[in-house]
Amino acid sequence: MTEQAPTPSSEGIVGLDEPKKMTREDWRKKKELEEQRKLGNAPAEVDEEGKDINPHIPQYISSVPWYIDPSKRPTLKHQRPQSETQSQFSAIGEWYKRGVQEGALVTKYRKGACENCGAMTHKKKDCLERPRKVGAKFTGTGIAPDEHNQVQLNMDYDGKRDRWNGYDPEEHQRIVEEYAKVDLAKRTLKAHKLQDELASGKLDQTVSREHDSEDEDEDKYADDIDMPGQNFDSKRRITVRNLRIREDTAKYLRNLDPNSAYYDPKTRAMRENPHANTGMNPEEVQYAGDNFARYSGDTIAMAQTQLFAWDAYERGSEVHLQADPTKLELLHKSFKVKKEDFKEEQRESILEKYGGREHLDAPPRELLLAQTEDYVEYSRHGAVLKGLEKAVARSKYEEDVLINNHTCIWGSYWKDGFWGYKCCHSMVKQSYCTGDTGVQISNSDCVPFEEGLTQPEEEEQPKSLLEMHRDKLKEKKKKKKNKKNKKHSSDSSDSEDEEKKKEKLKKALEAEDKRVKHIEVIMQLDERKRPYNSLQEVKAPTEEEMEAFRMKRARPDDPMASFLGQ
Whether 172 shows a pLDDT value over 60: the answer reads yes
Whether 190 shows a pLDDT value over 70: the answer reads yes
How far is CA 304 from its chain centroid?
36
Residue extents of the structural domains in the chain: 8-87, 105-145, 297-388, 399-445, 504-555
Alpha-carbon gap, residue 291 to 301, rounded angstroms: 16
CATH classification (class only), 105-145: few secondary structures
Q: Sorting pLDDT into bands at 50, 70 and 90, what band is 336? A: very high
Predicted pLDDT at 488: 60
Q: Residues 509-537: what's their mean pLDDT?
A: 77
Q: Sorting pLDDT into bands at 50, 70 and 90, what band is 389? A: confident
78-87, 98-107, 377-386: the lowest-pLDDT one:
78-87
Write out the E strands in 216-338.
none
Predicted pLDDT at 440: 85
Q: Residues 366-393: what's their mean pLDDT?
A: 76
pTM of the model: 0.24
Most confident of 44-53, 137-146, 497-506: 137-146
How far is CA 529 from its chain centroid?
48
Whether 455 shows a pLDDT value over 60: the answer reads no
Q: Sorting pLDDT into bands at 50, 70 and 90, what band is 482? A: confident
pLDDT tens figures, 323-334: 889 999 999 999
Predicted pLDDT at 202: 60
Amino acid identity for residue 449 in this structure: F
Whether 412 shows a pLDDT value over 70: the answer reads yes
Does 542 or 116 have the greater pLDDT score? 116
Predicted pLDDT at 449: 41
24-28, 292-296, 343-347: the lowest-pLDDT one:
292-296
Predicted pLDDT at 138: 93
Predicted pLDDT at 3: 44
134-138, 172-176, 555-559: the lowest-pLDDT one:
555-559
Nearest of 145, 119, 152, 142 to residue 127 by alpha carbon: 119
Alpha-carbon gap, residue 214 to 67, rounded angstroms: 71
Mean pLDDT of the chain: 78
Whether 231 shows a pLDDT value over 60: the answer reads no
Predicted pLDDT at 297: 74
Predicted pLDDT at 536: 59
Nearest of 157, 111, 163, 159 to residue 137 by alpha carbon: 111
Alpha-carbon gap, residue 447 to 539, rounded angstroms: 19
Alpha-carbon gap, residue 209 to 189, rounded angstroms: 17
- Listed in sequence order, the residues at least 6 apart from 392 whose beta carbon sits closer than 8 Å to its beta carbon are none
Whether 343 shows a pLDDT value over 90: the answer reads yes
Predicted pLDDT at 454: 44
Nearest of 106, 105, 130, 104 to residue 116 by alpha carbon: 130
